[in-house]
Amino acid sequence: MNDALTDPVLLAFIGGLLISTYFMFIGGFNTTQLLISSLGFAGVGIISSTYTYIIHNKMVVQGTTSFCSSEGIVQCGSVIGDPTWNNLFGIPWGIFGIASFSLLIFLSLSLYLDRHAKWAENFLNYSWVASLAGLPFVILLVAIELTQVEGAPHICPFCTVAHISLVGYVIAIYYLKKNKDTGKWIDQG
């Protein structure tokens, strides 16, 4: 358990989440910082999803991987390596994560580059809907980790990073929508 939690890659992901959270709060939720925060969360999400996909491929081909522990409660071997639950319709969850966070990055980056464009409000709404749509999958995956995989309960730390990234993204977009609705879309001061 300790091995998994002191993994330098995991610590880097946690650092990314903390920095993204920091950007959310500095400047009193101003729009620029919130957009940077949303990009940070989506960035950590896409990298952690890629990492889980790499672990998945290693587990399938080699049966094991040095990228992640396979013992204890906090581990990913039993979660990402479980043939019944590590995919949806044959597609690994990591691929879904990469595709979903790509969309979120595209939306946030477009807003960051031109928040006053005619399409900005639509893109903000798309970001909100797309990120909210991901939350049921996060709940489903956490439930699978805790109850369904072989030897459950397990917590896959890299999967959890992706889940937290999505939750952080939703919060950032929530405050962005709030700024839009209350006339604070243009940064003050």
Partner 1 sequence: MARRRKSLTPKGRDDDVRMIAGFAIGSILTVIMILVVIIAPPATIGPSEGELAPDFSTDAYTGASWENFRLSDTFDYEWDEGEQGEWILIQFIDTDCPYCWTEGEKMSDLYAQWSSDVEFITVAVELSISGHDSNRQEIEAFRDKTNYGTGENDGDGCNSGRNNCIDRPGTVHEWSYVEATSGIMKDWEISGTPFLAILQPDGYVAWNQYQNNGESIGDAMQRVVGGSQ
Q: Is 188 in the site for partner 1 (CB under 8 A)?
A: no
Q: How far is CA 92 from CA 38, 57, 82, 119, in A?
A: 25, 9, 11, 33
Return d(Cα 147, Cα 187) in angstroms, integer.
45
For the bound state, the minimum distance from the C-beta of residue 31 to partner 1, rounded and expressed in Å, comes to: 12
Q: Is 8 in the site for partner 1 (CB under 8 A)?
A: no
Is residue 89 exposed (0-12), middle (13-18) or buried (19+ Cβ within 10 Å)? exposed
For the bound state, the minimum distance from the C-beta of residue 2 to partner 1, rounded and expressed in Å, comes to: 25
Q: Is 7 in the site for partner 1 (CB under 8 A)?
A: no
Residues of span 109-168 touching partner 1 by CB under 8 A? 109-110, 113-114, 116-120, 150
Which of 83, 136, 183, 189 is in the footprint of partner 1 by CB under 8 A?
83
Return d(Cα 37, Cα 9) in angstroms, integer.
20
Count residues near partner 1 (CB under 8 A). 31
